[in-house]
Chain A
Amino acid sequence: MRVIVCTKETPDTAAAVDVVEGKATWGDAPLVINPWDEYTVQEGINLKEQGASTVTVLALGGEDTREAIKHALAMGCDDAALIADEAFAQVDSLTVAKGLAGGVRQFDDVGLVITGKMTTDANGGALPVQLGRLLGWPTVTYVAKIQSFDVDGKSITVERLVEGGRQIVTAPLPAVISVVKEINEPGYPSFMGIRKAARAQYPTWSAADLGLDADLSAKVDWTNLEKPPVKAGDAEIISAGSVQEAAEQLADKLMEEKVI
């Protein structure tokens, strides 16, 4: 049974992001695998101990995306596929989901698709459920732990984080899950892994290869991008004589702000 892990490239989270001519820029900061997807990839690899035969990394994006794929292969994925097409250059999450669903359908032995909780650039978070619904597979989001992954019985039991607690649910396979940070400790790519990843050959699919001739235009567009308004000046530093005086002063100011 194959497990597919989905990832994409995002600018390094420590990068100073700016807007130039309406487009986001991050200077010469590197693009990295979406940080949430290190958990995605690691969880796929961990499932090999529970009977997954092959872990495939699937990504949709431009040439840059090959770096994220390389990272995932170096971490231990077995193979990869890239969906790259001009048709996906400026699209929304639903269209990306259509592309990824087309990619997943290229394989006939898929038991599970794993995605991250969200991407650190678009901050969407709806992709996993969109992908699951398009495939017609049960979807369970915000998974913090896979309790059991039963390849023969074709079912999965997971703990998911929800507002107010942890929900434990069972779903038949094939299914789609999104995972949160708590689920594992991502490993570092090994030296051997990096060498293997550098040589890896994998298919690159266009929309037409996936039979996606239908309407792939985005339903929503980013029409503007700006820096958030900056707070004027630095903090007002409370520097009264004693600790108690400072605390009293700050408490008064916060009462005046009417936030308590």
Chain B
Amino acid sequence: MILVWIENSGGQALSVSWETIGVARSLAGDAPVAAAVFGPDAAAIGEQAIARGADQAFVCDHETFTAYRVDPHASLLAELAQAHEVTTVMAGATTRGTDVLGALSVDLDAGLITDAVEASTEGDSLVAKRPVFSGKLVATVTSPAAPHLLTIRGRAFPQPEPDESRSGEVTAVDPALSEDEIPVKETGFEAASGEISLADAAIIVSGGRGVGGPEGFEPIRELAAVLGGAVGASRATVDAGWIPYEHQVGQTGKVVSPDLYIAAGISGAVQHQAGMRTSKVIVAINKDPDAPIFKLAHYGIVGDLFDYVPALSEAFKKRLT
């Protein structure tokens, strides 16, 4: 059995969890794929997981899962993995997915492969490729013996469409830990502003030092809004205090992999590239024809972003309304 930890964000599964089910299906052969869903509306999400390709689901809608803490998730996954003949446990390579499978690797004394962009089986081995050295190299990582633990990078694999005709068993399970056994307590949560988060965005429009100041992000925000995308930024602008750190793309910011990445006024330093080089289509707008970003970009415009970014917003408004 392959067990897939579904990341439940307030009663909704993240899309990377569906991508993970797709990968699990391709690795499982004849073995079943089971979804593990903990937290609010777990049973409903379990049904959705089956529609996306799981054969069955273990669900636990217990209040210990309402606020995210790593321990209850890892302990219940460990119980499930031990109770069923689980060869592989998978999750999305998000902050929580890395946490949960990291802790599980200790309980199962099993190897963990994080952030895979390709995965296959060879006999009993699990073989995956993952970017290392901030995307400058790709490592092939082999886990020779089960249990294997694998997290997959978001948007690196296709998302299976839901098939409502699929059916499977949804089994309610008890939590492994009671509240008293969980040392970490949540005392507050500040939701990020309504903006689309970088991690989920299919389109990202990023500004660099070329925007000149905090107000220079206005045309960037406008284009992002027209495209329904998120706003990214280079470290230079974050360090200058023009935009909060949450927006930083790159080695010391977020690693993103959208369908479209538009870099305006960004030179394309290696540390910035580390965060966005796997984007499907990259567009660069920069005054300097020799800026390194043009080596990475698929399309480029040499010119002033304050001319071209608003013009692009206008051009897309026409096409998208």
Closest to A181 in B: B252
A200 CB-CB contact with B under 8 Å: no
Contact string against B for A residues 93-127, beta-carbon threshold 8 Å, 1 for contact and 0 otherwise:
11001000000000000000000000011111111
> Is A231 at the interface (CB under 8 A from chain B)?
yes
Which positions 212-239 of chain A face chain B at CB distance < 8 Å?
218-228, 231, 234-239
A170 to B302, CA, bound (A): 50
Check if A126 sits within 8 Å of B114, measured CB to CB: yes
Contact B315 A126 (CB under 8 A): no
How many contacting A-B pairs (Cβ < 8 A)?
256
Complex interface bits, B70-83 against A, C-beta within 8 A gives 1, otherwise 0: 11001000000000
Complex: A133 Cα to B197 Cα, angstroms: 30
> In the complex, what distance in Å separates the CA atom of A208 from the CA atom of B280?
49
* B293 to A: closest C-beta gap in Å: 8
Choice from A142, A168, A219 contacting B111 with Cβ under 8 Å: A219
* B 254-292 to A, binary, CB cutoff 8 A, 1 in contact else 0: 000001100000000111001001001111100001000
CB-based nearest A residue for B136: A17
- Please determine whether B111 and A235 come into contact, CB atoms closer than 8 angstroms: no
**Whole-angstrom distance between the Cβ of B239 and the nearest chain A Cβ:** 10
Residue A53 lies at the interface, judged by CB distance under 8 Å to chain B: no
Task: Mark each residue of chain B from 307 to 321: 1 if its CB lies under 8 Å from any CB of chain A, else 0.
Answer: 110011011100110
Chain A residues with Cβ below 8 Å from B105 are 94, 126, 130, 219
Closest residue on chain A to residue B100 by CB atoms: A129
Specify which of B106, B113, B135, B300 lies most central, judged by the most chain A CB atoms within 10 Å of its CB.
Answer: B106
A42 within 8 A of partner (CB): no
Residue B173 is within 8 A (CB to CB) of chain A in the complex: no
Q: Of the candidates A133, A162, A170, A246, which one forms a contact with B95 in the assembled complex, judged by CB atoms under 8 Å apart? A: A162
Given known pairs A171-B183, A172-B183, the reply for A226 and B137 (CB within 8 Å) is yes
Please indicate the chain A residues that have their CB under 8 angstroms from the CB of B252 in the complex.
35-36, 181
Most buried by A among B68, B270, B274, B311: B311
Complex interface: stretch among A43-51, A76-84, A188-196, A250-258: A250-258
Nearest A residue to B143, CB-CB: A220
* A222 to chain B: closest residue by CB: B139
| Total number of B residues with any Cβ neighbor in A under 8 Å | 97
- Nearest A residue (CB) for B102: A126
Of the listed stretches B30-38, B52-60, B188-196, name the one at the interface; the rest are far from the partner chain: B188-196
A7 to chain B: which residues have CB within 8 Å? none
- CB pair B141 A169 closer than 8 Å: no
A127, A164, A168, A244, most chain B CB atoms within 10 A: A164
Q: Which residues of B contact A16 (CB under 8 A)?
A: 136
Interface: B101 (CB within 8 A)? yes
| Residue ranges of B at the interface with A (Cβ–Cβ < 8 Å) | 9, 14, 67-71, 74, 94-96, 98-99, 101-103, 105-107, 109-115, 127, 130-145, 183-192, 197, 199-200, 202-203, 227, 245-246, 248, 251-253, 259-260, 269-271, 274, 277, 280-284, 289, 294-303, 307-308, 311-312, 314-316, 319-320
Given contacts A130-B105, A163-B96, A237-B302, list 8 more A-B pairs with CB under 8 A.
Answer: A13-B134, A13-B270, A17-B133, A93-B112, A163-B197, A243-B308, A244-B314, A259-B259
10 interchain pairs, CB-CB under 8 A = A13-B274, A14-B271, A123-B131, A133-B102, A161-B95, A163-B199, A165-B189, A167-B188, A220-B112, A243-B303
Could you list which residues of chain A lie within 8 angstroms of chain B, going by C-beta atoms? 11, 13-14, 16-17, 19, 24, 35-36, 92-94, 97, 120-130, 132-134, 138-142, 157, 161-172, 181-182, 218-228, 231, 234-239, 243-244, 246-248, 250-251, 253-255, 257, 259-260
